[in-house]
Amino acid sequence: MKESPIRTERKTIHLPPDTIQALNKLAARNGTDFSKEVRRAIDEYLDLESTAENIDMISGVIRQELSGQIKGLGNRLAGLINRLTIISAAGYYANIAIIADLIDRDRYSSFEKIEAAARKEALAFANQKNADALRIFLDDEEMKKAIQAVQGGRRVNPNL
C-alpha cells in the first residue's frame, strides 16, 4: 500500500554545512531524501515540545494536589498537638489533684491556693501551645518552609 503524499509548503531555511551534511548522510542511510529527514526531525522536536508542555501541566497539578494534602495533614497535626497539649495539662492538673487529696487540708490550707494557681498556669500553658501550633500551621510561609524542608531532605525545626 502506497503512502499518500503529505501536503507541504516550500520554505527556505539556512543551516550550517555540517548539519546539511549530517541530514544528507541520514537520508542516504534511511533511503529517503533530505526534505523528508528535515520534516521528520522537526516533527520529533515538536512532539518533544508538546510532551514537555504536558509534563509541566501534569507537574503543576501534582504539585497543587500535594500542597493541598500537606496543608490538610498540617492542620490535622496542629489538632493533634493541641489535643496532646491539653492532655498534658490535664495530666499535670490530675497529679496536683491527687496530691491535694493526700494532704491533710487542715495543716496545709494554702495548698488550695497553690493548686488553683497551678491549674491556671497549666491552662495558660495549654492555651499558649495551642495558639502557637495554630499560628505555625496556618502561616503559609511557615508551611512553605516545612514543605521545602521535607522535599529537600532537611530536618524540620522540632522547636516549632
Which pLDDT value is given to residue 122? Answer: 79
Residue 81 has pLDDT above 80, yes or no: yes
In the predicted model, what is the mean pLDDT of residues 116-135?
A: 78
Residue carrying C-alpha cell 507537574: 59
The cell for 83 is 489535643
The answer to whether 111 touches 103, Cβ cutoff 8 Å, is yes
Confidence class for position 86, pLDDT limits 50, 70, 90: confident
Share of the chain above pLDDT 90, in %: 13
Residue 29 has pLDDT above 70, yes or no: yes
The cell for 92 is 499535670
Residue type, 43: D
Residue 106 has pLDDT above 80, yes or no: no
Max mean pLDDT range (30-34, 56-60, 117-121): 30-34
Tell me how far apart the alpha carbons of residues 139 and 119 are, in angstroms, rounded to a whole number: 30
The cell for 8 is 507541504
pTM score of the predicted model: 0.37
Which pLDDT value is given to residue 103? Answer: 63
Tell me how far apart the alpha carbons of residues 140 and 109 are, in angstroms, rounded to a whole number: 50
Which pLDDT value is given to residue 120? Answer: 80
| DSSP tag of 2 | P
138 or 31, which is more confident?
Answer: 31
Tell me how far apart the alpha carbons of residues 41 and 43 are, in angstroms, rounded to a whole number: 5
